[in-house]
């Protein structure tokens, strides 16, 4: 069943927010889309691209009368924005976000609303190297996974509405508790990004002589190091404990491998690469 939201407020009209606005309008899921942003130029671009119907420099004003509020600001700003807009939201409004980390944000919301919480965290796993309102794409969420918070204390109707929202724009919903979400993405997304950046640094510091030797393996392995540093700084700031733990799992593997290389330990080397291949196949067979 398609959900229907009379008025939707999207706080932050960049790639994720703009794409959601377009998707809601084109699929007939929303009556009117309010967009809030810091800069008039971004809002003008969003209006021109028709990702939103009305523009607001004041986030609080944008949520007045909204049935659905989606925070699409950078992860590190979500809790502040939530505090700013919450007093102006309708009591029955459903509120969600799109940040890549969930435990901090959902814990903050849980402090604010004791029971029957109508903020339900989301992490739609969509995005690209592009950013900004001009790249908004109504198909951005199609065929992607959207993680939606589950757990005690949530208003069940709000939780169902958030699931229905992402399904309606084409995503497959996976419900996870925030801590589990953060632990898993630390290993499937954040750690790979950190490793990609570190590999690029090691090769880059070795000098430009390495450039002709760059092949498809290096390109694939380091591709995500091209992402925006601000995003990844924020992810490290908001998912610190899980990332520390994931690094603490990676580091001894590398140290063991280094010992096996030093000792020419054929069995240990074979076991390492066999486990890598098996795990890669199980998680991401192509």
Segment 257-276, which members bind a copy of itself (CB under 8 A)?
Answer: 257-258, 260-262, 264, 266, 269-270, 272-276
130 scored as a contact of a copy of itself (CB under 8 A): no
Helix, strand or coil for residue 118? coil
Where in 33-92 is the site for a copy of itself (CB under 8 A)? none
- Nearest CA among 285, 1, 26, 267 for reference residue 137: 26
Nearest distance from residue 29's CB to a copy of itself, in Å?
24
* Through-space distance between the first and last CA atoms of the chain, rounded to whole angstroms: 33
Q: Give the pair of three-digit tokens for residue 145.
A: 């996974």
Where in 176-205 is the site for a copy of itself (CB under 8 A)? 180-181, 183-185, 187-189, 191-205
- Looking from the CA of 131 toward its CB, the CA atoms found within 13 Å total 11
Q: Which is nearer to a copy of itself, 28 or 276 (CB)?
A: 276
- Nearest CA among 136, 139, 157 for reference residue 46: 136
- Looking from the CA of 158 toward its CB, the CA atoms found within 13 Å total 26
Nearest distance from residue 42's CB to a copy of itself, in Å?
22
Q: How many of the other CB atoms lie within 10 Å of CB of 267? A: 8
Per-residue binding string, a copy of itself, 215-244, x by CB under 8 A, is x-xxxxxxxxxxxxxx-xx--xx--x--xx
Nearest distance from residue 266's CB to a copy of itself, in Å?
6
Q: Which is nearer to a copy of itself, 134 or 189 (CB)?
A: 189
DSSP one-letter code for 4? -
């Amino acid at each position: 069943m398609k959900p229907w939201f009379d008025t939707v407020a999207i706080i932050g009209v960049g790639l994720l927010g703009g794409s959601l606005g377009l998707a809601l309008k084109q699929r007939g899921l929303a009556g009117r889309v309010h967009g809030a942003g810091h800069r008039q130029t971004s809002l003008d671009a969003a209006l021109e691209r028709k990702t939103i119907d009305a523009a607001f420099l004041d986030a609080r004003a944008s949520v007045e009368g909204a049935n659905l509020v989606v925070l699409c600001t950078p992860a590190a700003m979500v809790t502040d924005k939530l505090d700013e807009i919450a007093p102006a939201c309708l009591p029955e409004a459903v509120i969600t976000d799109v940040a890549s980390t969930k435990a901090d944000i959902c814990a903050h919301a849980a402090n604010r609303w004791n029971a029957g919480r109508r903020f339900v965290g989301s992490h739609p796993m969509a995005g690209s190297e592009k950013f900004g309102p001009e790249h908004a794409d109504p198909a951005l969420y199609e065929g992607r996974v959207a993680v939606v918070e589950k757990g005690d204390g949530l208003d069940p109707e709000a939780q169902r509405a958030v699931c229905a929202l992402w399904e309606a724009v084409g995503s497959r919903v996976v419900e996870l508790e925030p801590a589990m979400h953060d632990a898993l993405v630390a290993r499937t997304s954040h750690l790979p990004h950190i490793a990609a950046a570190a590999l690029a640094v090691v090769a880059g510091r070795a000098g430009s002589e390495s450039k002709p030797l760059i092949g498809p393996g290096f390109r694939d392995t380091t591709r995500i190091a091209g992402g925006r540093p601000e995003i990844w700084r924020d992810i490290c700031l908001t998912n610190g404990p899980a990332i520390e733990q994931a690094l603490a799992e990676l580091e001894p593997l590398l140290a063991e491998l280094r010992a096996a290389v030093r000792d020419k330990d054929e069995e240990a080397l074979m076991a390492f690469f066999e486990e890598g291949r098996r795990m890669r196949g199980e998680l991401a067979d192509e």
